[in-house]
A and B are shown apart, each in its own frame.
Chain A
Amino acid sequence: MEADDPAFLRGLTQSRLSRRQLVRAGAAVAAAGSVGSILSACGISGTRDTGAPAGFDWASWWTQQRKHGVLDWANWPLYIDTSHGSHPSLELFTKQTGIQVNYKPVIQDNASFFSQISPVLQSKQGIGYDLIVITDGWELTQMIANRWLIPLDHSRIPNFARYAGPIAKHPVFDPKNRYTVTWQAGITGIGYNPKNTGREITSVKDLWDPAFKGKVGMMSDDTELGSVGMLALGIDPAKSTPADWKRAAALLTKQRDDGIVRQYYDQSYIKALEDGDTWITQAWSGDIFQANYSGFKDLKFVIPKEGGMLWHDNCMIPLHAQNPVDALEWMDFYYQPKVEAMIEDWVNYLCPVPAAQGKIANGLDDPAVANSPLVFPSAAEIKRLRGYYDFRGIDDHNQWTSIFDPIIQS
Chain B
Amino acid sequence: MTARVAQLRRTAVPYVLELPGGLWVVVFFVVPLAAILSVSLMTGNSIDGYSLTWNFHIYPEVIDQYSTQFLRSFYYGLASTAIALVVMYPVAYWIAFHGGRHKSTMLLVILLPFFVSFVIRILTWQFILADQGIVLGTLKDIGLLPSDFHVLSTPAAVIAGLTYDSLPFMALPIYVALDNIDRTHIEAAADLGASRLQQFLRVVLPLSAPGVYAGILLVAITNIGDYVSAAILGGPSTTMIGNIIQTQYVENANYPTASALALILMAALLLGMYVYARAFGTRTIQEYV
Contacts and interface: CB of A to CB of B under 8 A. Distances in A.
A275 B140 CA distance: 14
Contacts of B252: 398, 401, 405
- Max chain B C-beta neighbours (<10 A), residue from A398, A401, A410: A410
Nearest to B132: A276
Interface in B44-71: 44-52, 68-69
A276 B150 CA distance: 11
Interface in A108-141: 111-112, 115
B253 A115 contact: yes
Interface in A141-171: 142, 145-146
B281 interface: no
Interface stretch (A23-31, A41-49, A199-207): A41-49
B244 A409 contact: yes
Contacts of A52: none
Interface residues of B, number: 42
A395 B35 contact: no
Contacts of B198: none
B104 interface: no
B47 A261 contact: no
Given A115-B250, A277-B131, A46 B45 contact: yes
Interface stretch (B75-83, B171-179, B203-211, B234-242): B234-242
Contacts of B153: 262-263, 277
A398 B69 CA distance: 21
A376 interface: no
A410 B48 contact: no
Interface in B195-251: 232, 234-237, 239, 243-244, 247, 250-251
Given A262-B153, A401-B252, A48 B49 contact: yes
B110 interface: no
Nearest to B34: A39
B243 A409 contact: yes
B74 interface: no
B60 to A, nearest CB: 17
Contacts of B244: 409
Size category, A interface: 35 or more
B250 A111 contact: yes
A42 B35 contact: no
A287 B243 CA distance: 26
A45 to B, nearest CB: 5
A393 B69 CA distance: 29
B167 interface: no
B160 interface: no
A410 B250 contact: no
Given A44-B255, A262-B235, A35 B250 contact: no
A394 interface: yes
Given A405-B247, A410-B237, A142 B50 contact: no
Interface string B122-149: 0000110011110000000000000010
B236 A275 contact: no
Nearest to B129: A277
A394 B46 contact: yes
Given A1-B127, A111-B250, A43 B236 contact: no
A185 B63 CA distance: 41
Contact of B42 (A43, A264, A395, A410): A43
A387 interface: no
Contact of B131 (A46, A256, A275): A275
Contacts of A393: 47
A89 B182 CA distance: 70
Contacts of B45: 46, 394-395, 398
A264 B236 CA distance: 6
B152 interface: yes
B48 A276 contact: no
Given A276-B131, A277-B130, A398-B252, A409 B247 contact: yes
Interface string A195-234: 0000000000000000000100000000000000000000
B85 interface: no
A36 interface: yes
Nearest to B41: A42
Nearest to A214: B148
A169 B35 CA distance: 46
23 contacts: A35-B35, A42-B38, A43-B42, A44-B42, A46-B44, A46-B47, A46-B49, A111-B251, A145-B47, A214-B148, A262-B235, A263-B234, A268-B126, A276-B131, A277-B131, A277-B132, A394-B46, A394-B48, A398-B254, A405-B247, A409-B244, A410-B68, A410-B236
Given A46-B49, A214-B148, A262-B235, 17 more contacts: A12-B120, A39-B35, A42-B52, A43-B42, A43-B51, A44-B49, A44-B51, A46-B44, A47-B46, A47-B47, A112-B250, A214-B150, A263-B152, A393-B47, A394-B47, A401-B252, A409-B239
Interface of A: 1, 12, 35-36, 39, 42-48, 111-112, 115, 142, 145-146, 214, 256, 261-264, 268, 271, 275-277, 393-395, 398, 401, 405, 409-410
Interface of B: 31, 35, 38-39, 42, 44-52, 68-69, 120, 126-127, 130-133, 148, 150, 152-153, 232, 234-237, 239, 243-244, 247, 250-255
8 A-B pairs with least C-beta separation: A46-B49, A42-B52, A43-B51, A409-B239, A44-B50, A46-B48, A111-B251, A394-B45
